């Protein structure tokens, strides 16, 4: 029976939003998974470490089917509508992949009549010809849309369609027969009757469904049970970045009923395998997990670091994540290289800590704004496209563990995109052409010993420790340090770092009694926790200047990343995105807070900035005159600032309230009134001015030398005079910008 055109019908359906996650309709830009909804990481018993010979049981009426922990997706085999199949190019590669898979026993294949108008099934049949029947497992599907066979034959339509599939496969029976989706017009009871007929007539050993939500799956299981046939499989989209079946309880229901949950698009149609980037997006026909690539960069950074530590491909880490979750991943393979990568998902297990890291970072998808964006400005004449392609790379040192955007694919894509001439430009005031001999210096990013270092081509640099996401160094182009660091600061993660710019959240100072934060340590947990590095982006300077003049580093923290002690002390669900932007003009730090739970929570936030100065007696703090402040050295009493230029000549610990954030706080020279630092804020209306002075400096074990108080002043932008209330699902942002004397 002909299935001509079905591959295009399938692609059209996907383009309109049909059946991509579970149920009939999906969003091409799905919401991220809320960590509170995720199941326990280890749903697969910890003593099980699947290798290529390990098997899972699919329950049948008369025959169970034993399958490997990975299923090979054959959608691309013969399909032109989505995968642009070319027999001369692709068939030899498929055969090479199959040869490698056979050697290790990964011979469980998923196909369907809709894939390549039946050509996928025909290719499978060719691959099976020289194999004994017990050496492979084949799973195909019933095309459930309303064609004449399905409309007029009702339950017999399933058997009729399966016989056509068997003819293309050259087989007498299939191991697994699935309903391709809940798009059938017939009642579930009628479809169940058809599936049972296929089993009873020896055409299928086990049966299942695809893209069914929990309620419909239960209905199908109950109807099949009336015929004595178990529901063996439910197949839906599932991966690190698309965990809706887990969120909605579908996977849990499958486990409870003995139904094997298969997850297709396990690598997000290549998005999670390092094949694509923001400069080389997947084809538009790849509609599953269709996040823009820039949104996935933080997740890919974490996956790559784990992959490097384990010496396996990123794809192997992603598939191992699904296996840990109790999901049987279905992954498309059409080359020997892909087969070798995906095989490496077996024989080991991600640790609980690695699982939490992946879950935590994936939960931040959608929290941040775009993590950097490059727009291209092309001058008169042709741009040197090699230079333009190189411009977008991350400049990394050999021992780095960061995700590099440097790949031949990215370069080729950019070369093509940037081969523009002046005739194509219609702007006035066009910039000068970039000379073909010129180079485009880029920021250098290094990652070592749990700290990120970024250096601009002009020499400015910043260092951020992952512990607390604490900025510990900021140097100008001349090498002059702008931040104070105690000589006894703990940089090993044993204590908060004394100096730099610690992040204070969700409470400032000692927590008040009888408050949600009362069990937390002073200044909360943000400065006491390990953050995740999310990635880097640089300025849009191509064609405007001679190099990138800024770099932004993004860091993330969520409640799943906290220690058990902190989670118990403050049991709210949140996400933090912290950005540190270095430019020639100064340093900016910004924090975004999101309430990811169902309960409102109160919080305070502060950027505890230690500025480095030559002599505390020779500086004044300006623009605080007539402002109200709380003096914490005088029992937190309220006062009004009387001096237009505050002199620090004793222990100072003041919270200046309700300031205009657009009016900068100025640290100036007492001798000539010249600016030393300027601090402007956005969303941070309070400013703390702090210096421990002589006695308190001596009493702090991690403050050294004792007279270092002379070399620092804290100008701390925050929201700490009261409490911010963040409602469920809402977010808040605040930032500071520091400009030094240049």
Beta bridge partners of 738: 587, 679
Q: What are 216's two structure tokens? A: 């419909």
DSSP 117-169: GGHHHHHHHHHHTTS-GGG-EEEEEE--S--HHHHHHTHHHHHHHHHHHHHHH
- CA 626-632-634 angle, 5° bins: 85
Contacts of 165 (CB under 8 A, 6+ apart): 113, 118, 121, 140, 174
Tokens of 238: 């599932």
Give the separation between CA 537 and CA 278, rounded to whole angstroms.
11
Examine the residue annotation and report whether 294 is marked as an active-site residue of this protein: no
490 tagged catalytic:
no
Contacts 24+ apart (CB under 8 A), 458-465: 458/547, 458/549, 458/584, 460/582, 460/583, 460/584, 461/582, 462/553, 462/580, 462/582, 462/587, 464/553, 464/555, 464/580, 465/491, 465/497
| 506: preceding bond cis by omega (within 30 degrees) | yes
Q: Which residues contact 699 (CB under 8 A, 6 or more apart)?
A: none
Of 716, 727, 730, 733, the active-site residue reads: 716
Helix (H, G, I), strand (E, B) or coil at 391: helix
Contacts of 158 (CB under 8 A, 6+ apart): 142, 177, 191, 194, 195, 197, 198
Determine which one of 340, 354, 608, 647 is catalytic.
608
Question: How many Å apart are CA 724 and CA 733, to the nearest integer?
Answer: 11
Say how many C-beta atoms besides its own lie within 10 A of residue 513's C-beta. Answer: 6
**C-alpha separations of 571 from 326, 401, 506, 557, 620 in Å:** 27, 32, 12, 14, 42
For residue 215, give every residue at least 6 positions away whose Cβ sits within 8 Å of its Cβ, in sequence order, or none.
Answer: none
Please, are residues 605 and 506 in contact by the beta-carbon 8 Å criterion? yes
Contact 718, 604 (CB under 8 A): yes
Q: Enumerate long-range contacts of 152-155, CB under 8 Å, 24 or more apart.
A: 154/186, 154/190, 154/194, 155/186, 155/190, 155/191, 155/193, 155/194, 155/197
**Tokens at 114, concatenated:** 């809709």
Match 């049948």 to its residue by tokens: 60
CA 728 to the chain's CA centroid: 22
Write out the two tokens for 261: 């949950």
Angle at 122 between CA 181 and CA 153, to 5 degrees: 45
Compute the distance between CA of residue 583 and CA of residue 133 in angstroms, rounded to an integer.
Answer: 65
Nearest to 694 by CA among 652, 731, 736: 652
Under 8 Å between Cβ of 342 and 333: yes
Query: Could you tell me which of 508, 564, 510, 556 has the C-alpha nearest to residue 530?
Result: 556
Catalytic residues: 608, 716
């Amino acid at each position: 029976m002909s299935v001509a055109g079905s591959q295009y019908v399938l692609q059209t359906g996907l383009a309109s939003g049909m059946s991509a996650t579970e149920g009939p309709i999906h969003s091409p830009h799905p919401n991220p998974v809320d960590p509170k909804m995720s199941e326990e990481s280890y749903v697969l018993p910890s003593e099980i470490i699947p290798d290529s010979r390990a098997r899972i049981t699919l329950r049948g009426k008369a025959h169970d089917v034993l399958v490997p922990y990975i299923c090979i997706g054959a959608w691309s085999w013969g399909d032109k509508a989505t995968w642009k199949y070319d027999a001369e190019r692709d068939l030899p590669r498929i055969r090479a992949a199959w040869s490698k898979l056979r050697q290790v026993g990964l011979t469980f294949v998923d196909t369907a009549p809709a894939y390549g108008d039946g050509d996928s099934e025909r290719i499978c049949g060719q691959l099976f010809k020289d194999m004994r029947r017990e050496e492979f497992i084949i799973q195909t599907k019933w095309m459930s849309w309303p064609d004449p066979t399905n409309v007029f034959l009702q339950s017999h339509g399933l058997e009729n369609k399966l016989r056509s599939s068997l003819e293309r496969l050259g087989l007498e029976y299939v191991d697994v027969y699935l309903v391709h989706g809940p798009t059938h017009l017939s009642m579930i009871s009628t479809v169940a009757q058809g599936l049972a007929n296929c089993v009873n007539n020896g055409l299928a050993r086990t049966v299942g469904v695809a893209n069914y939500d929990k309620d419909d799956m239960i209905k199908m299981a109950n109807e099949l049970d009336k015929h004595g046939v178990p529901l063996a499989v439910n197949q839906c989209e599932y991966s690190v970045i698309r965990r809706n079946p887990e969120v909605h309880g579908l996977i849990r229901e499958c486990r409870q009923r003995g139904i094997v949950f298969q997850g297709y698009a396990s690598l997000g149609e290549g998005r999670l395998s390092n094949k694509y980037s923001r400069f080389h997006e997947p084809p538009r026909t790849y509609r599953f997990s269709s996040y823009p690539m820039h949104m996935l960069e933080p997740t890919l950074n974490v996956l790559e670091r784990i992959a490097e530590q384990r010496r396996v491909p990123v794809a192997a880490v992603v598939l191992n994540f699904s296996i840990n979750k109790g999901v049987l991943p279905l992954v498309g393979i059409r080359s020997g290289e892909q087969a070798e990568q995906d095989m490496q998902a077996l024989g080991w297990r991600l640790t609980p800590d690695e699982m939490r890291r992946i879950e935590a970072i994936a939960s931040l998808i959608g929290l941040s704004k775009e993590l950097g964006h490059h727009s291209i400005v092309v001058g008169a004449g042709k741009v040197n496209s090699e230079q333009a392609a190189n411009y977008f790379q991350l400049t990394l040192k050999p021992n780095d563990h960061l995700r590099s955007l440097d790949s031949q694919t990215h370069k080729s894509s950019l070369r093509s995109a940037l081969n523009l001439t002046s005739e194509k430009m219609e702007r006035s005031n066009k910039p000068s052409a970039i000379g073909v001999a010129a180079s485009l210096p880029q920021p250098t990013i290094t990652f070592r010993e749990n700290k990120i270092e970024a250096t601009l081509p002009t020499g400015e640099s910043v260092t951020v420790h992952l512990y607390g996401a604490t900025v510990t160094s900021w140097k100008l182009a001349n090498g002059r340090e702008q931040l104070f660091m105690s000589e006894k600061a703990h940089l090993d993660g044993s204590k908060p770092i004394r100096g730099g710019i610690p992040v204070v959240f969700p409470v400032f100072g000692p927590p008040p009694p009888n408050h949600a934060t009362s069990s937390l340590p002073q200044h909360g947990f943000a400065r006491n926790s390990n953050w995740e590095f999310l990635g880097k982006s640089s300025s849009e300077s191509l064609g405007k200047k001679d190099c990138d003049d800024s770099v932004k580093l993004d860091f993330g923290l969520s409640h799943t990343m906290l220690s058990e002690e902190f989670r118990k002390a403050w049991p709210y669900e949140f996400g933090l995105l912290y950005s540190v932007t270095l430019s020639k003009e100064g340093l900016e730090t910004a924090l975004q807070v999101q309430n990811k739970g169902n309960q409102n929570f109160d919080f305070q936030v502060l950027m505890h900035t230690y500025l480095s100065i030559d002599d505390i007696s020779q500086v004044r703090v300006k623009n605080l005159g007539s402002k109200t402040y709380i003096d914490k050295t005088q029992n937190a009493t309220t006062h009004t600032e009387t001096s237009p230029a505050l002199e620090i000549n004793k222990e100072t610990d003041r919270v200046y309230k309700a300031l205009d954030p657009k009016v900068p706080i100025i640290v100036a020279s007492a001798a000539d009134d010249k600016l030393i630092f300027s601090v402007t804020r956005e969303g941070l209306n309070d400013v703390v001015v702090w210096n421990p002075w002589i006695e308190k400096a001596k009493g702090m074990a991690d403050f050294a030398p004792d007279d270092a108080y002379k070399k620092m002043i804290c100008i701390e932008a925050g929201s700490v005079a009261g409490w911010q209330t963040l409602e469920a699902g809402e977010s808040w942002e605040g930032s500071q910008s520091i400009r030094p004397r240049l």
